[in-house]
Amino acid sequence: MSRYFGAPTRRLRRGLLVAVAVAVTVPLVLSGCTPTAGTTSGKAADAGDRTYALVVHSVPGDPFWDVVKSGAEAAATSDGATITYQGNPDPQKQSQLIETAIADKVDGIIVSMANPEGVQGAIADAVAAKIPVITINSGSEQSAAFGAMTHVGQSEFPAGQGAGKQFNDAGVQNLICIVHEAGNKGLEDRCAGATDSFGGTVKNIQVDVANIADAQNTIKSALLADPSIDSVLTLNPAIAVAASQAVAEAASTAQVGTFDVSSDVTSLIEEGKILFAIDQQPYLQGYLPVTFFGLYWSNGNVVGGGAPVYSGPGFITKENAAQVAEYAVNGTR
């Protein structure tokens, strides 16, 4: 059984579809935030001519963003539209990619905001050009203020609180939180949320997701230097795998929990080497915005009512990992 708000996975899917259907049947005009349908390039009335840009703060080969991309491509194929995908973790370069999409007169821009202030100007330019914007993954608190139609993702601080509670249930006392990307506010919020709810002590440790071997050694060194560390929270599936290996190499009994999912993570959960994973369902973060844009251009629907559309958090544990693993191998979870 899935632990997404206590409901089975199939029931969740049905509930999500119903929720989206209800949300999109109520047109809403957000003054100053969203353009009027049909006012950008003049080609938006025909689904086959629509092009959307997905511009995120990814590094090359990141499996999380590959899932987001898969979701966006699946929705675009279903709608007969075209999706372009580009990513860069540098907010200045990400802003340049957004500006390029504006110049190309796309019919919608989907953007993640790991550094909201760093991309604010480019998003403002898109809104001024009457191109609808949907933010995903990071930056939910700033999304509406920046003029986005809605945000699809999870609220990171409450998700971090959920992680802290999971570790409380495991009876651990000394937690290290592994931040793999400097300056990413969403990651900082995850650790802050865990610190808020965890009953023991929490220390943040910085690593670089671009060098997994070094990250593993850093975690291993921390465990060896302080044998009282009995829990590790990672914020990325690749770092989670590295942390699990570091625990084994250090002959530690520390429990590992993580944010985000991969086939490797679900396998390690099944083996009892990772305690839990928090799943924000990245496939939905790609799929839903494309669907929302299609409804916007074809029927004038605006989803969200000025509030985020939550794709998570859900908790994957040993009891439901096999079910999720079935989809993870397909690149959709």
Print pLDDT tens along the chain (333 aa): 334 333 333 333 433 443 444 344 333 333 334 444 444 444 555 667 899 999 999 887 788 899 999 999 999 999 999 999 999 999 999 999 999 999 999 999 999 998 999 999 999 999 999 999 999 998 888 999 999 999 999 999 999 999 999 999 999 999 999 999 888 888 999 999 999 999 999 999 999 988 999 999 999 999 999 999 999 999 999 999 999 999 999 999 999 999 998 889 999 999 999 999 999 999 999 999 999 999 999 999 999 888 899 999 999 999 999 988 888 777 788
Residue 175 and residue 200 in contact, taking contact as beta carbons nearer than 8 Å: yes
* C-alpha span between 293 and 72 (Å, rounded): 11
Task: Write down the pLDDT at residue 320.
Answer: 92
Longest dimension (CA), the chain: 63
Domains 41-154+281-311 and 156-279 share a fold: yes
Residue 189 and residue 156 in contact, taking contact as beta carbons nearer than 8 Å: yes
The pair of three-digit structure tokens given for residue 25, joined into one six-digit string: 């049947």
Residue 68 and residue 54 in contact, taking contact as beta carbons nearer than 8 Å: yes
Helices 212-225, 237-249: axis angle to 10 degrees equals 40
Tell me the CATH number of domain 41-154+281-311, given options 3.80.30.20, 3.40.50.2300, 3.90.1300.10, 3.60.15.10.
3.40.50.2300
**Residue in 33, 28, 23 with CA at minimum distance from that of residue 131:** 33
* C-alpha span between 167 and 74 (Å, rounded): 36
Task: Write down the pLDDT at residue 147.
Answer: 95
User: Exposed, middle or buried: residue 271 (CB in 10 Å: 0-12, 13-18, 19+)?
Assistant: exposed
The pair of three-digit structure tokens given for residue 271, joined into one six-digit string: 């083996």
Collapsed DSSP state (helix, strand, coil) of residue 41: coil
> Pairing relation of β-strands 309-310 and 108-112?
unpaired
Please tell me whether the overall predicted TM-score, pTM, comes out greater than 0.85 for this model.
Answer: no
Task: Write down the pLDDT at residue 146.
Answer: 96
Q: Spell out the domain ranges in the chain.
A: 41-154+281-311, 156-279
Task: Write down the pLDDT at residue 40.
Answer: 45
310: left (phi over 0), alpha (psi -120 to 50) or beta: beta
* C-alpha span between 59 and 207 (Å, rounded): 15
Q: Which CATH class is domain 156-279?
A: alpha beta
Task: Write down the pLDDT at residue 88.
Answer: 93
List CB contacts of 306: < 8 A, sequence separation 6 or more.
28, 30, 33, 144, 150
* C-alpha span between 150 and 296 (Å, rounded): 12
Residue 309 and residue 152 in contact, taking contact as beta carbons nearer than 8 Å: yes
Q: What sections of the chain are H helices per DSSP?
A: 9-24, 63-79, 91-103, 116-128, 140-143, 156-170, 185-197, 212-225, 237-249, 263-270, 282-299, 321-328
Task: Write down the pLDDT at residue 45.
Answer: 54
Task: Write down the pLDDT at residue 228.
Answer: 98
